[in-house]
A and B are shown apart, each in its own frame.
Chain A
């Protein structure tokens, strides 16, 4: 019997859905064993009320990509949790808050002020900001979802069975996940689905993988400064790379194309706080002057170290 499958896009960019579609012919093979009962808003034409009418636990696997920012998203993931036997936080946003989660450095008022008034291209002489309700022609009531004060990861709203990192997850990794789901060969609930290896572990640039030793880094560069040598470790050249603390299910995709890792793969098993561990690891390889340079060159350390994980950071008082 085919597995009943649901996919929901919350506060994300649909890149994770593209990652699933990127499986191409392998997805076509898997589709024989999957029955898509809900895939909104991108693929299947199924309404929220149809989802709400489904019996509880009738969906075998539901994937959610994107963080939780609006009341609508919160409502739908709660419904999905009720209807699905297995709920997967699929991709960096659902698992950790992701890029939308960086908004937690700012209040709702600051965000509205910037978006509806301050940006260069905004022309808003009447000072209109989104309302949750408005009446058109005196009789039609239109509604918009509520914009919450903070962005949350999926598990901060409902119970999550599995976590998958990546922005988006690498299609090779997605293939393994789909196979695991179809065959029922899944790890204990609450785990990340991962090989558990770091990006450095699978990175061809890693000096340790070439039998060389790592040296203390004396200079910090931003990615806009110069072009990194394609063969040498980015960190060794001074480009801050979070490979040492990030899950490498991507196969080191970014370092392979001369871009340092920013941690979308999620924290390695055993790491509670990504940003804090990234500091621990970088401070071990940078020398004193390099640390000073880092603090000078990067205007916001929080947005650097918690690029994909601010909503799940141990501490954030600003939200």
Chain B
């Protein structure tokens, strides 16, 4: 892992909000780092903690889960479930020795293309500061 290292960031985005925001960021020509790979899921409530662990163990340097703002979930309460899971997972990962900044939950609405781009830039910078994920196989 010399100076050639580039972060590998997985964004798990809900179909109705964060993924739409990613789309909008593209339409509006907002740029964000190419280190970000977006995976679309129906709802942030679909994201099982195992997905995050799998991403980390398979070489992702950071994982961001994106969902609708509270109250906006297409399935009414999937994002609340995502938040409850995330809180527990985040504390668990910290206990297991993962830097808490590597895993993040963010609410990005469908109209927030700019926010999507900004969050991605910020997250990319955070991960660059942390360096490569030491768990990488």
Contacts and interface: CB of A to CB of B under 8 A. Distances in A.
Interface of A: 105, 272-273, 275-277, 279-280, 282-284, 286-288, 291-292, 294-295, 300-302, 305, 313-318
B119 interface: no
B135 A283 contact: no
Contact of A305 (B56, B85, B92): B92
16 contacts: A273-B49, A273-B53, A276-B89, A282-B88, A287-B84, A288-B83, A291-B84, A291-B87, A292-B87, A301-B92, A302-B96, A305-B92, A314-B56, A314-B57, A315-B57, A315-B96
B83 A280 contact: no
Contacts of B135: 315, 317
B88 A277 contact: no
B48 to A, nearest CB: 5
Contacts of B57: 314-315
A316 to B, nearest CB: 5
Nearest to A282: B88
Nearest to A295: B91
Contacts of A105: 95
B3 interface: no
Contacts of B93: 315
B88 to A, nearest CB: 5
Interface in B84-111: 84-85, 87-89, 91-93, 95-98
B24 to A, nearest CB: 30
B48 A276 contact: yes
Contact of B92 (A279, A287, A317): A279
Majority DSSP secondary structure for residues of A touching B: helix
Contacts of B134: 317
Nearest to B56: A315
A231 B84 CA distance: 28
A288 B49 CA distance: 17
A24 B57 CA distance: 45
A291 B85 CA distance: 9
Given A279-B92, A314-B50, 5 more contacts: A273-B50, A277-B48, A288-B84, A302-B92, A318-B95
Nearest to A299: B95
A-B pairs with the 9 shortest C-beta distances? A317-B97, A276-B49, A283-B84, A283-B85, A314-B53, A302-B95, A318-B97, A276-B50, A279-B88
B54 A314 contact: yes
B88 A301 contact: yes
A286 B87 CA distance: 12
B74 interface: no
B50 A301 contact: no
Given A286-B84, A295-B88, A280 B49 contact: yes
Nearest to A276: B49
Given A291-B88, A301-B88, A280 B48 contact: yes
B135 to A, nearest CB: 6
A138 to B, nearest CB: 46
A313 B88 contact: no
Contacts of A300: 95
Given A272-B50, A273-B53, A276-B48, A317 B88 contact: no
B32 interface: no
Contacts of A314: 50, 53-54, 56-57
Contacts of B95: 105, 300-302, 318
Contacts of A287: 84
A204 to B, nearest CB: 28
Contacts of A317: 96-98, 134-135
A279 B98 contact: no
A277 B96 contact: no
Given A305-B92, A315-B96, A317-B96, A279 B85 contact: yes
A295 B98 contact: no
B37 interface: no
A290 to B, nearest CB: 9
Nearest to B53: A314
Contacts of A277: 48-50
A294 to B, nearest CB: 7
Contact of B81 (A273, A284, A313): A284
